[in-house]
Amino acid sequence: MSEHLLEVKNLHVSFRNVVGEVKAVRGVDFYLDRGETLGLVGESGCGKSVTVQTVMRLNPEPPAVIKQGSIVYDGVDLAKLDDKGMRKYRGKEFSMIFQDAMTSLNPTTRIGKQMKEMLRAHRDISDAEAKKIILRMLTMVGLPNPETIYSRFPHTLSGGQRQRVMIAMAMSCEPSILIADEPTTALDVTIQAQILEVMNKLKKEMNTSIIFITHNMGVVARMADRLAVMYAGQIIESGTAQDVFYRPKHPYTWGLLGSMPSLKGDVPERLMSIPGTPPDLFDPPRGCGFASRCEHCMNVCVNRVPPETEVAPGHRVRCWLLDPRCKTAVKPPIGRDSELIPGKEDA
Amino acid sequence: MQQEYLLEVEGLKKYFPLGKGRTLHAVDDVSFAIRPGETLGLVGESGCGKTTVGRTLLKLYKPDGGRIIYRGEDITKVSGRRQRELCTHMQMIYQDPYASLNPFMTIGEIVSEGLEINKIGANRMERTAMTYELLERVGLSREHANRFPHEFSGGQRQRAGIARALAVNPEFVVCDEAISALDVSVQAQIINMLMDLRELMNLTYLFIAHDLSVVRYISQRVAVMYLGKIVEIGKASEVYVHPAHPYTQGLLGAVPVADPDFEKSKTYQAMVGEVTSPINCKPGCRFANRCPYATEECRTVTPDMKAVGADHFVACHRL
C-alpha cells in the first residue's frame, strides 16, 4: 500500500489525567525507508520519545490516548491494533534500546537467560539454537568473551557493555526497525563513539532501519541520513541531514545549531541562545509553538499554525517566514550557504 | 616571567579507603595553577576524578597529600574561622539543579543564607535588597524569591544555584558540570551568562565538564584528566589544535561534530577498551592498556609532565 517501510501520518497523542490533557504530540508526519537512519532531534519534553513509544505502542492507554492519525507498517495501521495484535510486531519487527541500559535489563536475571527468554518468545527455536544466536550477537556487538558475559548479571557490566548487550538483544530477532532512544546520552564520549560504530555496522550488515532519538547535534550528524527536528509536539523541520545542517530554514533549527559550541572552526564571541523556555503542552499555543521564543515572530505566528512548506524536494519546514505573502526577508545566521530565503525582497 | 597565581595546586592527592586494604586513587598527584581572571577547563570521562579535584580544592574533602595555595597562603590545613572566611572567596556551582537546592527553602532563603552566615549586609532589609539584586543579575526576578525550587525549570534552578554561589561575592568559582543537566538552548543561555558574570564580577573559574566543545568555548586553558592524573594541560587553542597525549587525541577524535559530510567521511578510530579501575593503581602510565603506542616503559614507569610548547605540558613517554 505505501512505498515506505513505516509511515506516520498526522499523529496526535495526549495524556489524560484528572486536571486535563497534555497534548504531547500534536500532528506528526514522518516516514522511514528500508536501511536508512532517521534522526529525531529536539529538547526534553518536545515529544520525541512519546512519538516513538507510540509507534511501539509502549505507552499505557489510558492515560495515553492516540487522538488521531495513523502508523502504517507493512500495510497495517498499528494505531488501530490492540495490545495482543501489537505483540506480533513488538520485539520482532520493531525493537527499542533505551538511554539507561541498567534499568532496561532485569537485574535479577543473567544476561543469557533474559536474551533467551525474548528470543524464544518470538521464534520457534531450541534452547541450544538460541544460545548459539545469542553468542553470535554478543560477538557482533564487540563484546570480548561472550561466553562469560552470557552467564553474568547486568550489574557486573560497565555502562558501555550493558548498552552493547541491549543492542545485541534488540537485534537478535533481526527487526526491520530499531528505535534508539538517546542510547549514548549516559555514556562517555569514547564509549559513545564505540557504540555508534557498532550500530552503524549492524545496520549495514542486517539492513535495518533506525530511528535515532537524540538531542546531540553531533551524534545525529554522524548517524542520520535524514533528520526531523521536533518542537512542542510538532516536527518543525525535516529533510536530509545536509538540508537541515547546511540549509536550515526554521528559526528554531538556527537556534539549536547556533547554541551548540563546536570543536571545529573558530571559537565564536558569543553563543547564539534561544531566550525563554518551551511552552506548556497542557495549554499549547494557538499558533506556532515556537512563536513566543522566536525573534522573527509576526502576528500570524501567534494566531495560526504555520502550514508545511516544501522548500526543496523532501525538505519540509513549518514556518510562516516561508509563506510567499511574508514580506520580511530573514537571513539565516547559520548554515553553509547563508543565502536569503528565495522569493523574498529585502525588507 | 613570574606571574601571580590566584590558586596553585601542588601534588594534590585524595584517596578513598574502600576497606579490605583497597584504596580508590581518585586524585593522584595533580598539580596546576590558575591565574586571576582566567578560566581553566578540567575535562575527562566519568570517574577520572575531576569532581573530586573541585571538591578537594574547596575543602569539601580533606586532601590526603599535596598543597593548595590560595593567594600565596597555604590553605591545605586551615580550619575554623579562617576556613569560613575562605568560603566567601571560593564557591561552587553544582551539576544537578534538582538535588543541590533544598526543597524546603524558598529561592530567596537559599540565596540569602550565605549572606546571613557570613554577616554580609547590615540588616535583614539590606540582605533582601542584595538577594533581589542577585536574582536579577542571574536573569530571575524578585518575585521568584518567595517561590520554592520545584516551581522552577532546570535552567531557572541552575540560575538560582549560581546566584547562591555569587551571593558572598567570591573570587574563585568551581563550576562542576554546571550545564550538563540542561537542554542545549538553555545551556547556551547559562554559558553566556557565566561569561558575562566573569567579566562583571572579575571571577576566576575552574570549569569542570565532560563536554569538550563547551570547555573549548569557555576556557583559556584546559587540563585533561585520566584516572586521577592530569595527562595534558595547556592553552585551549594549543591543546585542541595540537593535542599531544594519545588520550587527548582519542578523546577529541571521539566527539561527533555537527557537520554531516565531515562526520560521514571521517575515518573513525574509536579508542579501544574502557577505563580501568582506579583501585590500588600500579605504577606506570594509567592509559597504557588503551594506548596504541604503549611500550614496556609505559607499563612500569609513571611518566612525568614535560613541556612540549609554551604553556603546554604533557605526561607521556613518547615525547
At B3-30, the pLDDT tens digits run 578 999 999 999 998 888 888 889 989 9
Average pLDDT over residues B213-219: 89
What percentage of chain B carries pLDDT values higher than 90? 40
Question: B312 pLDDT band (50/70/90 cuts)?
Answer: very high
Nearest Cα of chain A lies from the Cα of B251 at a distance, in angstroms, of 6
CATH numbers and ranges of domains, chain A? 6-224 (3.40.50.300), 229-322 (no CATH)
DSSP A154: G
Q: Which band of pLDDT confidence, cut at 50, 70 and 90, is reported for residue B2? A: very low
Parallel, antiparallel or unpaired: strands A76-77 and A64-73: antiparallel
Residue B160's pLDDT is 92
CA–CA separation, B237 and B261 (whole Å):
24
Mean pLDDT over residues B244-272, rounded?
Answer: 83
Judged by DSSP in three states, B126 sits in helix
More confident residue, A275 or A177: A177
A100-A60-A99 Cα angle (round to 5): 10
Query: Does residue B263 register a pLDDT over 50?
Result: yes
Assess B199–A contact: CB distance below 8 Å, yes or no. Answer: no
Flag whether pLDDT at A212 surpasses 90. Answer: yes
Sheet with B90-93, strands from edge to edge, namely B90-93, B172-176, B204-209, B39-43, B221-226, B229-235, B312-315, B305-309
- Kind and range of the H or E element at A66? strand A64-73
Q: What is the mean pLDDT of residues B139-143?
A: 87
User: DSSP letters of B239-305?
Assistant: HHHS--SHHHHHHHHHS--S-HHHHHHSPP-PPPS-PPP-BSPPSS-TTGGG-TT--HHHHHSPPPE
Cβ of B258 and A221 within 8 Å?
Answer: yes
Q: From the candidates A161, A185, A190, A250, which should be mutated to test the interface with B, based on the most B CB atoms within 10 A?
A: A190
Give the span between the Cα atoms of B210 and B180, in whole angstroms: 8
- The grid coordinates listed for B122 are 547590615
Q: How high does pLDDT run on average in chain A?
A: 85
- Structure confidence at residue A347 (pLDDT): 33
Strand partners, B15: B25
CB contact under 8 A, A261 and B216: yes
Q: What is the mean pLDDT of chain B?
A: 88
Give yes or no for residue A219 having a pLDDT over 60: yes
Q: Could you tell me which residue, B303 or B180, shows the higher pLDDT?
A: B303
Question: What is the rounded average pLDDT of the residues A161-178?
Answer: 88
Question: Which spans in chain B are helix H?
Answer: 50-57, 80-87, 107-117, 124-137, 154-166, 184-201, 212-218, 236-241, 246-254, 260-265, 296-300
Contact A201, A139 (CB under 8 A): no
Give pLDDT, residue B22: 87
pLDDT at B68: 92
- CA B104, CA B149: separation in Å to the nearest integer? 8
What band does B270 get if pLDDT is binned at 50, 70 and 90? low
B9, B41, B7, B6: which is closest to B28 by C-alpha?
Answer: B9
pLDDT band, very low/low/confident/very high, at B220 (cuts 50, 70, 90): very high
For residue A252, what are the contacts with CB-CB under 8 A and spacing of at least 6?
Answer: A229, A231, A236, A237, A274, A290, A293, A294
Give A37's pLDDT tier (boundaries 50, 70, 90): very high
Sole residue written with cell 506528526: A28
- Rounded to an integer, the average pLDDT of A65-76 is 86
What confidence tens digit (pLDDT) does each residue in B107-139 have?
Answer: 999 999 989 888 888 888 999 999 999 999 898
Q: Which of B153, B253, B258 sits opposite A277 (nearest CB)?
A: B153
Smallest CA–CA distance from B263 into chain A, residue: A222
Whether the per-residue pLDDT at A332 is higher than 50: the answer is yes
- Scanning the structure block, which residue is given the C-alpha cell 574561622? B81
Is the previous residue joined to B36 through a cis bond, with omega within 30 degrees of 0?
no
At A202, which helix (H) or strand (E)?
A: helix A189-206
pLDDT (mean) for A308-320: 89
Q: How far is B307 from chain A (nearest CA, A)?
A: 24
Contact between B258 and A255 using a beta-carbon 8 Å cutoff: no
Q: Which residues of B touch A273 (CB under 8 A)?
A: 185, 188-189, 191-192
Cβ–Cβ contacts within 10 Å for residue A131, how many? 17
pLDDT at A342 over 50: no
pLDDT band at A88 (very low <50, low <70, confident <90, very high): confident
User: Does pLDDT of B274 surpass 80?
Assistant: no
Which domains are delineated in chain B?
A: 7-89+170-315 (3.40.50.300), 100-169 (no CATH)
Is residue B192 predicted with pLDDT exceeding 60?
yes
Is the pLDDT at A343 greater than 60? The verdict is: no
- Does the structure's ipTM exceed the value 0.90? no
Helix (H) / strand (E) element for A70: namely strand A64-73
**Overall average pLDDT of the B298-310 stretch:** 89
3-state secondary structure of B27: strand
Do A193 and B274 count as a contact with CB atoms less than 8 A apart? no
